[in-house]
Amino acid sequence: MAAQQSTQLGSATGRARVRSILVALGLSYVIAVLSGGAHATSARLDFSVSTLSFPSADPDAVSTIDAVENPIAVDVTISGPDFTMSQLTVQAAGDLISGPDQIAIDRVGWQGQGEGFVPGPATLSKDEPKLVGQWVGRGTKNGILRFGMENSWDYAAGAYSQTVVYTLVAY
């Protein structure tokens, strides 16, 4: 009998907890919408190209090789609350590779132009993300990046390649 009473009490408590959870979820939804959920944050990053190309050049005549695609247009679109902060960073997956030969990725650098874009000059890194730009607020930020690669007689002949990843975070 005692056990039965206990079970009935437990069921009542459980129903109360379920009700409280439902009430809490509903309340939190309303609060979230009122406090910012109505401005759901989103981030979009667009580049005018997906590939950069550095042609071969005489190191004596061309100390820094410009990317064929320069200037690269970058569009950063942020939606969300007025105080949304966003950062654009870049990190290389490794050095430029051509079979057994390598060119250090920090031989590739860029200069930025546009509101919020780091003017540089800055160099790519495989070890840590490098800041490309940062902003506060929503909207579209347009900028351009110009890439260059330091030339050298020390480079072995070959066709080098590497991927770099740009990450836009808004919060």
Partner 1 sequence: MRKRIAVWTLAVACLALLTASAVSWAATDQQSLTINATVSAKAKLTLGEAAINFPDADPDSVPSIAATENPVSVTVKAQTGSASSVTLTAQANGDLDSGTDTIAITNVTWTATGAGFVGGTMDTSAQSAGSWTGPGRRDGTFSYALANSWDYMPGSYSQTVVYTLTAP
List of residues contacting partner 1 (CB under 8 A): 13, 16-17, 20-21, 23-25, 27-29, 31-32, 35-37, 39-47, 49-56, 58-60, 65, 78, 80-81, 84, 92, 96, 98, 100-101, 103, 108, 147, 149, 153-171
Rounded Cα distance between 141 and 44, Å, is 11
Other Cβ atoms closer than 10 A to 156:
11
From the CB of 2, what's the least distance to partner 1, in Å? Answer: 19
Pairing relation of β-strands 96-98 and 64-66? Answer: unpaired
Q: In this structure, are residues 134 and 87 in contact, taking their beta carbons and an 8 Å threshold?
A: yes
Closest approach of partner 1 to the CB of residue 119, in Å:
19
For residue 66, the minimal CB distance to partner 1 (Å) is 12
| Least distance between partner 1 and beta carbon 19 (Å) | 8
Q: Burial letters for 63-77: b for 16+ Cβ neighbours within 10 Å, e otherwise?
A: eebebebeebebebb
Rounded to the nearest angstrom, the gap between the alpha carbon of residue 160 and the centroid of all alpha carbons in its chain is 24
Q: From the CB of 127, what's the least distance to partner 1, in Å?
A: 17
Give SS3 for 151. Answer: coil
